[in-house]
A and B are shown apart, each in its own frame.
Chain A
């Protein structure tokens, strides 16, 4: 043993992030050749199913816009229901992608490189799904541009003290930054695709998209620096976006909403739901596209650990929320919290607690963290649980607020269910299309973590 170096004990050594022997060339052949092959029949079945769901959802959205939001189950006092639940749910799903691509990049977690591209794409698709809901929820979506501060003949401006305007800025900034981050990461990969594209048409499209990237060292130098700075900025952004979404609730006075714990609680929940969705999609992608050597069981194991951590955070948040409610000595807040678990919507409250806190505890076992059926079961439970969590926060809090004379039971209509299903259809349609036209794994980023990818003097970090 040389002096000055410390041999790590076996359990502290990081396991390899790839399995088998892989060179930059074979990586390209494995990942990029999917785009040259005809997709398997299962892809067509999945695409037909999800795109039909999407079409149904879009038609129902058209029906809503043409008729008015009276076709939904919303009432007074439950003026926010499926529309805002779905919005918060989808924005939350997006957070995992930014966490993986930005925060884990700053932490130099090498396992992120294999899954970053896919989860960033999921971020963008989830934010697209989320963006639909506030727009149709305003009732007259053709006037939604009034939310933007543009000089107008009326001489008025939006109220910048309103959390709803903060939300517009936060979500649109989040979408544009995610899109930029995703696209910049794609540029070198698109250049690889350009250089191996068989047909003239595809070559032209990939040439255009790769903006003439030629891998010059001075370009890489600026690229790496900019990418790191973008990651740092996106880190702040991902923590702020769901905090701002939570302000929509926390700055109001509705019992059950007016709580200081909301911003961190929402961010943890968002990452939780997002990781569950990433696990579901990755398991499918990994096995159908034969990427087991790149997205290894180690990756899934680590992601399940993140889910378990978030689940414990959620449990803590639920307990803290209940404690704050009790400690408030406010009869209305006590009533609302009793409603959560013993009221009309008691089943939603118990679904939330069991799916988000109890079921993920299975992941303490290493065997379960590496078992497809268990991790899919947990991830589905978390997805359902996180949707119902927003249902509890929104509907259960609203349907019995301060004024007993206006208490009202909320019942969703078929249109509500149809639009929710349509948003899932849209998300998976976009995911399926993405898997067909763009590389699902950031090949350039993977090449960096392959053994022997860096010169010897650059230090042991990259070996």
Chain B
């Protein structure tokens, strides 16, 4: 016999006849049965003796995995790989990770239910199934019900099975032959190759990521991570003196740091006060004086500062005759270079502040040694 039979179909007009026929055909042929229906028929799985669908368990496991993957990924990225403090929350603030954990759970579970059912359990897409070429197929997807006695490798007794199906109430019979074996480039083969390529791309990408992360030897794109430069305090052959560090050009003066080379207070070269005795200058001088000078020289500059009693120090009375006779340059020199027990205040006061203090000291001197003429005429009595 040249042709091999795949299955023998009996077509039924309504669902009740199909259900009644199943136990009869099952008992009389003992062969493997399958039914093809236009819509799900309840109870047919029990009648055919099908195993319980494992979809529920698959979905449960994958959903659980999804939850773990979601929350694990969030904890790893925001707590371990790149610890990120947002809104003052601790790095492992899991409460904020619940929404995405839920979404990933649903995503894993639904794709397991949907694609797992279609691809794994039902083995679709599958276009070469002999049933798809059957003349009864358009009737089955419309409104007819088919009971198929299928060959599980062995030969089927064609005439006997047709008789059983007819007796069980089948309206018509169709014999479906085993198709010829597929060629090497069948659509199923090509689809498997495509899926394999896609999976290998994913795996390769993942491995590349970890390889780059763990062994950063040959990073393909470094952007601006690696820049040739001269580091200070290191030897470098770029310059003739083989130092990575450069000295400023000779004679360079930093802004606001004019060198002050005078040693003696009575040196005629001491500069004159460059600032005018204006109100802002006096205010500036008063501020600096009260911060730096008044602790020793007193708030009025009379030598009665708050430290005098505590330490027995004798700071100068700035309103004394001797100091009133100082030039501006000589007072300025005392600020810059210090005098007797007084240290230098050059580091505390800028050049302008020093000269402002000099103006303010002059104002204090005049105030403490005021004459009648200093009082304005209008208020004099």
Residue numbers in A under 8 Å from B126 (CB-CB): 211-212
| Closest residue on chain A to residue B117 by CB atoms | A226
* B39 A453 Cβ-Cβ under 8 A: yes
CB pair B53–A222 under 8 Å, yes or no, is yes
Interface residues in B105-122 (C-beta closer than 8 Å to A): 106-107, 109-111, 113-118, 121-122
Name the residue of chain B whose CB is nearest to the CB of A194: B141
Interface residues of B in 1-39 (CB under 8 A from A): 14-16, 19, 34-39
Find out whether the CB atom of A169 lies under 8 angstroms from the CB atom of B142: no
Contacts of B114 in A (CB 8 A): 180-181, 184, 226, 230
A129-137, A356-364, A417-425, A454-462 - interface stretch: A454-462
Closest CB in chain B relative to A237 CB, distance in Å: 5
Bound Cα distance A187, B219 (Å): 46
| Residues of B close to A211: CB separation below 8 A | 118, 124-126
**Which residues of chain A have C-beta atoms less than 8 A from B14's C-beta?**
452
A83 near B: Cβ within 8 Å?
no
> Could you tell me the distance between the alpha carbons of A169 and B104 in the complex, rounded to whole angstroms?
8
A108 within 8 A of B: no
Chain B 197-222 residues near chain A, CB threshold 8 A: 209, 213, 219, 221
B349 at the interface (CB under 8 A from A): no
A151-B209, A214-B132 known; A454-B42 Cβ under 8 A: yes
Task: For chain B, give the interface size range.
Answer: 35 or more
Interface residues of A in 228-245 (CB under 8 A from B): 229-230, 233-234, 236-237, 240, 244
Contact (Cβ within 8 A) A453 B15: yes
> B93 within 8 Å of A by Cβ?
yes
The reply to whether the CB of A199 lies closer than 8 angstroms to some CB of chain B is no
Return the contact of B40 from the options A24, A161, A192, A223 (Cβ within 8 A). A223
Given contacts A162-B86, A452-B14, A455-B15, contact A180 B39 (CB under 8 A): no
For the complex formed, measure the closest distance between the CB of A240 and the CB atoms of chain B, giving whole angstroms.
6
Determine the chain B residues whose CB is within 8 A of the CB of A23 once the complex forms.
Answer: 143
Q: Which of A153, A221, A223, A448 has the most CB of B within 10 A?
A: A221
What B residues does A196 contact at CB under 8 A? Answer: 138, 141-142
Note all chain B residues with C-beta closer than 8 A to A445. Answer: 39
The verdict on A1 contacting chain B, using a C-beta distance below 8 Å, is: no
Q: Is the interface of B mostly helix, strand, loop or mixed?
A: helix
Bound-complex Cα distance A289 to B99 (A) = 42
Q: Residue-by-residue, is B319-347 near A (CB-CB < 8 Å gives 1, otherwise 0)?
A: 00000000000000000000000000000
CA distance A442 to B47 in the complex (A): 27
Q: Who on chain A is nearest to B75 by CB?
A: A160
Cβ distance B94 to chain A, nearest Cβ, rounded Å: 10
B78 touches A216 (CB 8 A): no
- Judge whether A28 is part of the interface by a CB distance below 8 angstroms: yes
Max chain A C-beta neighbours (<10 A), residue from B38, B40, B86, B125 = B40
Report yes or no: B109 in contact with A161, Cβ–Cβ below 8 A. no
Which of A157, A181, A236: most chain B CB closer than 10 A? A157
User: For A215, what are the chain B residues with a Cβ–Cβ distance below 8 Å?
Assistant: 36-38, 140-141
A218: CB under 8 A from chain B? yes
**Contact between A157 and B81, CB atoms less than 8 A apart:** yes
A462 to B39: give the CA distance in the assembly, Å. Answer: 13
A225 touches B78 (CB 8 A): no
* Interface assignment of A219: CB less than 8 Å from any CB of chain B: yes
What are the residues of chain B within 8 A of A162 when measuring CB–CB? 86
Residues of B within 8 A of A (CB): 14-16, 19, 34-45, 48, 50, 53, 55-56, 59, 73-74, 77-78, 81-82, 84, 86-87, 89, 93, 96-97, 99-100, 102-104, 106-107, 109-111, 113-118, 121-122, 124-127, 129, 131-132, 137-138, 140-143, 209, 213, 219, 221, 223
Q: A24-B143, A176-B107, A452-B14 are in contact. List 18 more A-B contacts (CB 8 A).
A: A153-B219, A153-B223, A160-B77, A161-B97, A169-B103, A173-B107, A180-B111, A194-B141, A195-B137, A211-B118, A214-B132, A215-B36, A220-B37, A222-B53, A229-B113, A230-B110, A244-B99, A457-B19
Which 4 A/B pairs are nearest by Cβ-Cβ distance?
A24-B143, A226-B117, A195-B138, A211-B125
